[in-house]
A and B are shown apart, each in its own frame.
Chain A
Amino acid sequence: MNKHNMKVLINALLDGDQAVALEETKRLLENGEGRERIISDGVEAAMTRLDNKCTADQFNLLEIMLAGRAVTAVIKELYPPAVPPLQTKGTVVTGTLEGDVHDLGKTILKGVLTAKRYRVVDCGKDCPVEKMTDVAEIEAAMAICVSGLITTVIPQVRLLRTEIVGRGLGHIKLIAGGAALKQGSAGSLGVDFVADTAFDALHYLESLMEMQK
């Protein structure tokens, strides 16, 4: 197998330069580079670099959004419908609960998790608790990530726990994030983890994967 330098792709992803990232992906494929390696050494490596750069004090949402957009385009290029899908680590359901229509947070999370080989099923905004639980059950999700910018959704976050436990899905981990939810503690919200940033959520999921090994 050819071993191509991934530097150009990594830098393009870090710069959020979608056009260059796509061009480089095509070039790598044409030169015989494997899809898996482009993901592991290119896309995942770029996201790890971005993760290291984004400390709690210097979290740059715009930068991650741009990288996420480029990652999505690269994955689409690598795995068109005709190609067997990317092997993922697990499925994560995201969404904002009924009454909350801010979706920037989950867009960011989707980009970060997708780049790290998680399959993300987006329930969209303003999603009822029952629907989110249905989706998590159907998709055999390992976790549900809810984002919330308004405190009035907090009772629904608590309801989500009741709903998943009541339906025998207590093994699904609940992660909360977003400006309103991160003011609360995991205990008070009834979730397993409160993520300060999208990378924080990723680290938690990775720790779950480690425990499963």
Chain B
Amino acid sequence: MNSIERVTAAVNFRKPDRTPVIAQVFGHAATIAGVQLGDYLRDGELLAKCQIKALEHYGYDAVFALMDTSVETEAAGSALTYRQDMYPYVKSYAISGYAGLEQLAVPDPRRAGRMPEILKAASILRREVGDNVVVVGCVQGPITIAMQLMGAEKALYLAIDHPDHFARLLDFATEVSIRFGVALIEAGAHLPVLFDPAASPAVIPAQFFREFLLPRLRQVFTAFTEAGAAANWLHIAGPAAPILPFYPQAGVNLANFDYCVDPLEARQALPGTCLDGNIKPLDFVDSTPEAIAAESSQLLERFGDCGGFILSSGCEIPPEAKPENVAAMVRAARKR
């Protein structure tokens, strides 16, 4: 099986030749290529080159067309501060309050901010790996985009003080996710992943997730499916256990779970959904290859080899991770 066949089998609970392994290597690809993170994040061609190098080095099952979590808000009008050795952050938000939403236009992925560079990265990656390795395109989810358009605190207060206004803000953010995700698929990504870290129960209550986000996730994943997505992958880090049972209602069939979610609990909450996770990201920096190998084996053992599981980290593997630790996770999956 090639990586696409392997991941597809896992997502559909068919037995793959081995459990797929997707290392969430984003900025770490720049680190191992000896490239400054600040350059990697602004140049689609460079990003694709680094991703390919990382793929050749590690031999895992997916590459990522992903810069950082501020791409969407920058494209919508936020100004970012860039530094050479870290991810950029929002210097000034696109809008200072709800009233500003009227002036905002859904960014055109072919022109706005760094979106065209990411589309370029997706198409180069697809050209390089063809249909052998999964090309993942990353899009921020509605809650994260909404919070990044005006600041998390303001957005959350808006949700409580004026839920109707917040709903409109989320509708706008949903449009941004859909448009960028579909553009990524059209550019060559097999599999879009929707990152919505701000939708974690560590930030918003499960009820809030169900009321505000769930219907919009359904819209996003329906649009992705229609555009040809290989699967509907949702990635919400942190203590997500309380919201996992809602995922199937949104059409999710691949769900990331972080290190703080018990694998058994995740499986019980989502018996028919492929899971990916959940080695603690910091372990890739601080731990040893032996410990990572042991943790990987434990996960592989627990989930068996009949599909429904992809070995991965709980969230991004930090840029400063030790390469031997990433390699240990990949080796654990490949040797079985």
Contact = CB atoms under 8 A, between A and B. Distances in A.
Given A61-B204, A66-B160, A101 B282 contact: no
B295 to A, nearest CB: 14
Nearest to B315: A179
Given A99-B83, A107-B153, A152 B319 contact: yes
B204 A184 contact: no
A183 B160 contact: no
A151 B83 contact: no
Contacts of A66: 157, 160
Contacts of B285: 151, 154
Given A62-B204, A151-B318, A183 B90 contact: no
A188 B280 CA distance: 15
B259 A183 contact: yes
Given A62-B204, A63-B205, A151 B282 contact: yes
Interface in A103-121: 103-104, 107
A60 interface: yes
Contacts of B208: 62
Nearest to A66: B160
A74 B283 CA distance: 43
Interface string B202-214: 1111001000000
A25 B319 CA distance: 50
B32 interface: no
Contacts of A190: none
B89 interface: yes
A179 B83 contact: no
B286 interface: yes
Interface string B61-93: 000000000000000000000010111011000
A150 interface: yes
B282 A61 contact: no
Given A69-B157, A183-B281, A62 B203 contact: yes
Contacts of B259: 183
Interface string B252-292: 00000001000000000000000000001111011000000
Contacts of B280: 183
A16 interface: yes
Contacts, number: 62
A180 interface: yes
A65 B153 contact: yes
A184 B203 contact: no
B9 interface: no
B237 interface: yes
Interface in B133-175: 152-153, 156-157, 159-160
Interface in A131-152: 150-152
Interface in B214-229: none
A62 B156 contact: yes
Given A151-B281, A151-B318, A101 B89 contact: yes
A183 B280 CA distance: 7
A59 interface: yes
Contacts of B83: 99
A69 B157 CA distance: 9
B202 A179 contact: yes
Centre residue among B85, B86, B237 by max chain A CB count within 10 A: B86
A184 B89 contact: no
A140 to B, nearest CB: 29
A126 B83 CA distance: 12
A103 B154 CA distance: 12
Contacts of A188: 286
Given A99-B86, A150-B87, A62 B286 contact: no
B320 interface: yes
Interface in A12-68: 16, 57, 59-63, 65-66
A150 B201 CA distance: 18
Contacts of A61: 202-204
Contacts of B86: 99, 150, 152
Centre residue among B83, B205, B280 by max chain A CB count within 10 A: B205
A152 B285 CA distance: 10
Given A63-B205, A104-B153, A151-B285, A179 B90 contact: no
B238 interface: yes
Given A101-B90, A150-B87, A59 B153 contact: no
A103 to B, nearest CB: 8
Contacts of A179: 202, 237-238
Contacts of B204: 61-62
B277 to A, nearest CB: 14
Contacts of A62: 156, 159-160, 203-205, 208
A178 to B, nearest CB: 10
Shortest 6 CB-CB distances between A and B: which pairs?
A183-B282, A101-B89, A151-B318, A99-B86, A104-B152, A60-B205
10 contacts: A60-B201, A62-B203, A63-B205, A65-B153, A99-B83, A99-B86, A102-B152, A104-B153, A151-B285, A183-B281
